[in-house]
Chain A
Amino acid sequence: MLDENIKVVDIDALHWLHLFELLSGRAFDERKGEKGRKKPARLFVIHEQGKVLKALDSEQRLITDKLRHIDLSGLEKLEELFGAGTIFLVERGAPRRFMQVVQRRLSLSQNYIEQLLEMYQVFRQMVESREFYIHPPLPLRDIRYAGLFNLFKLALPEDKLVVLVVFSGEHKDLSSLPIYTSLIFRVRKGHFIDLLTTTDHLARFGLSVSNWRQDYHRVIRLCEQRLGEVFLGIFTSLSAIIELQREFAKQGMGIFNRFLKEDKIILNPFPLRLKMLLKMAGRFKR
């Protein structure tokens, strides 16, 4: 979970940007053309027991005069009526009730994830009671902190690091290393993430990279010297990530095994629990 005094330090700005891009898919060529894709029509309504106080279309134009009243028991009809792909209905006063309930549940003794989950639970309840109505419905699962925490505990041991480095010869980072993006985090006792950094933290201790398939060892060594024991190290290249993205839809989890065999992804250390998980996933695919 998240330590309230988490140290976020030595973040290479380019690593951070590239990580955002990887997560949002913007780094992949085949997605670039999708930027200007048309968004589905939207309808936003504020109502008071069905009486419409405000209705806005996708262009943020007021269309309240076209929708004076809504039948709260047949909200699905709104979709047909307006051809709207996304509908968001708010009962007047619901945001205030949401904040009221949330603020009564929050406490300084909770960590940030617990606090977020309190908010999430209240939101979920209010969607269920249709004080907020969202179409298409969001898959709002009942997520409990204890469950999430146990999963986190199962996945990552205490006092260990997780290291991700994506290398790229064409992209020099701020320390002039051929690293496209990186992320290092540490889980401390009690299963709180207390450190978030990038390989920029290691640069001042002499990190150098020429052939990443060999030099990744230096990353591990420096991490262990400076930050703590590495539990999981993920080392790969930008080209492998792009290929992975392309092939994942066809081959699913099984592609990881192939990439591992071909050294396109190096997992080192590669904990047993993860090995088993990948094996199972590979079999499942076949």
Chain B
Amino acid sequence: MGVEIVSSGLKINGELVPFISGAFQYWRSKRQYWEKIFDLILELGFEFVETYIPWSVHEIEEEKFDFESQEKNLARFLELAGKKGFKILVRPGPHINAELTYFGYPRRLLERKECLSRSADGDLVWLPVPPKMFPVPSYASEAFYEEVRRWYQAVGGVLKPYLYPEGSVVMVQVDNEFCNFFRSSPYDHDYHPDAIRLWHSFLREKYKDVSRLNFAYGKKFSSFDQIEPARSFSAQSQKELVYFLDWVEFREFYMQNALRRLKGLLEEAGIKDIVFMSNYPLADDYPPNNFTELERFLDFQGLDMYPQRRQWQGIKRLARTACGLSRFACSPEFSSGAFIFNPPILLSDQRFTTPYLLMHGIKGVNFYMLVERERWYGSPITHDARVRREYFEFFKKLVSFLKSSRIFELKKYASCLVLTNRDYDRLECATTILDPLPLLSPQLTPPEFHCSEERFGFEQAIQLYARNFFEAIYRALDRAGAGLNLGNTTQELESLRRYKLVALCTFEFLNAQVQRRLRDYVEQGGFLVLGPKLPELDEQMEPCEILKQGLEIVDEVKGELRAKVFQLGKGRLVLIPHNFDQRQRKHPPEPLVELMRRLLELAGAEPRYKMLTPGAEVELHEGNGREVIFVANPRSQAIQAKIKLASPGRFKDLESGKVLSGADELEIELLGWQVRVLERENA
């Protein structure tokens, strides 16, 4: 393949091309402005542009498409972009949102019932968005795929001559922000007859034989087709949970099936041998999203965000999740301006959020929108090729900085990985009693707000407590200054091995394969931190002590909060036998932070640069014999930050050129909401 994705960008014919891209939607700017807009984008320094290709705009009547007239002339747009030297990311949907009425679907499609999703009660599923609510399509419906096939064939016909290597289109996005149209409760939709068939085939694929399913569920079905889809949560016992956990897993499968099919249809339409990617609208890898499974057939998946600067914690989480889970840490939509109904995002936000995103490890960004358009505001270039001067200068400086510093070639130092537990994420979703309330992110809808409080025979209601443990550990490691990424228990052993310390929450049950993988990680020399319990059951609630077997306690970490240390093969397993409450999710207790500092020492995973000033942050990026530190002040007051150095050093501010030096400590002035980037001389 002439174009491939690597951790620092795209490799095109062996040459690294950073993915620093900007969105320009051709059909929303008059054709007479296209060339001038491209020139302005070039002036900003961008070499990548991105555009959606809206089905609803190009389809003038069923099976009749207009790709030629005026602003609809896609070929002309691609040709011009290529001529100007841009690489192109295209996003032909079918879902594109783009703040278009009907999200880019032609209205006639939304009038074809056989193409539309169904609720648990069999009704059409409406998306309550302005300026018009509409019923959403079913991504299981065969009729819908037949429609999409025709659209892809049409758009493929236009795109083919412009695909790499003949043309400049090097990347394609499959659908857009797939999350069941933000209506992600497991008992909301889709119950289309084809979706129910898909459920049965999922069960068939998972259990192979119905007797195995009967064993897991404690039932006596004679065929897979007898198993009804779950429409609301009603489990009373551990054994009954298995069916609901399967249902949530199926919802992930539904998404994977949809994106896999769409990728296949794109290839069938001739769009192939370029990079295939997808995006997710939130910073979490949470059902129905599943990075691990999606990246088995996509080149990468990225996370979108439109943050104001006060949402810096979310930006950090997004970057850490992308770094921990994707082969290319990317944000395919990061704000440049805002959607008309969003809270205003201003340049003052952008000045902090963008370097802060890079600080935490993001290597590729598509700024959405670089060219302002209808229903969007606050971009550096307007739809009619005017320039918003301050915004324009900001991006010009940013891109120039990225190109000269080449920080995307470096790797963020991360010695720790905190895993979310997919079994418990699924349990949180499965036990919701407030359906169809969307469960897009546990940050937005925390478990105590919607989960059943039943214990199902466990010592605690796992669905309520797992999040507390995970968050407390994550925040405590963060406070301890650990170089850290976020991952998931679905990850392969290979990706765990990269970390000196892996932490996760475990209660009584845990998927047998995950237990095996974690045990392998420890036996091969890893340092695993878990708690509050060692699992004794598998995902079918059958006895399973893979992780617990043969553990011998060798030490105890003493302090206000104690932990037990076990030797296992070449590595160590640490059990923190404590529960944390909801408040400690955001504010981990000091003894836990202290415990984490001790564990980082024990694991040899301490940060190489320690921030000594509370509230300020430092992150190390390294590679090619270089060491670059990002220092941030995510507060409004200016501070004088102090960083502990392992050895004396001189540091050059990559923006101002100013040189700072320190023996044991480095002092650095930070304005409110500022990120500074310093390179160590003679690293």
Query: Which A residues fall within an 8 A CB radius of B?
Result: 2-14, 16-17, 20, 44, 46, 53-54, 56, 59-62, 64, 90, 92-93, 95-96, 99-100, 102-104, 106, 108, 111-112, 115, 119, 174, 204
Contacts and interface: CB of A to CB of B under 8 A. Distances in A.
A100 B119 CA distance: 8
B101 A96 contact: no
Nearest to A55: B453
A3 B374 CA distance: 14
Given A9-B383, A10-B383, A112-B131, 10 more contacts: A2-B130, A5-B101, A8-B374, A13-B346, A17-B344, A59-B583, A95-B435, A106-B126, A115-B132, A174-B388
B75 interface: no
Q: Identify the 10 closest CB pairs spanning chains A and B, nearest first.
A: A13-B378, A11-B377, A17-B344, A4-B132, A103-B123, A115-B133, A8-B375, A13-B377, A9-B374, A100-B121
B340 interface: yes
A214 B120 CA distance: 61
30 contacts: A3-B131, A4-B131, A4-B132, A5-B101, A6-B131, A8-B340, A11-B377, A12-B377, A13-B337, A13-B344, A20-B343, A46-B434, A53-B433, A53-B452, A54-B448, A54-B453, A62-B582, A90-B434, A96-B187, A96-B232, A103-B123, A103-B125, A108-B107, A108-B111, A112-B133, A115-B128, A115-B133, A119-B128, A174-B388, A204-B384
A62 B446 CA distance: 12
A7 B373 CA distance: 10
A111 B130 CA distance: 10
B131 A95 contact: no
A4 B187 CA distance: 30
A61 B583 CA distance: 9
Contacts of A13: 337-338, 344-346, 377-378
A44 to B, nearest CB: 8
B436 interface: yes
Given A108-B107, A108-B111, A99 B433 contact: no
Given A10-B382, A60-B448, A96-B120, A4 B101 contact: yes
Interface string B360-373: 00000000000001
Contacts of B124: 103, 106
Contact of B446 (A17, A60, A106, A112): A60
B340 A11 contact: yes
Interface string B493-532: 0000000000000000000000000000000000000000
Contacts of A61: 448, 582
Interface in B404-457: 433-437, 446, 448-449, 452-453
A241 B207 CA distance: 68
Interface in B302-339: 337-338
B123 A104 contact: yes
Contacts of B145: none
B448 A99 contact: no
B348 to A, nearest CB: 10
B595 interface: no
Contacts of A115: 128, 132-133
Contacts of B123: 100, 103-104
B110 interface: yes
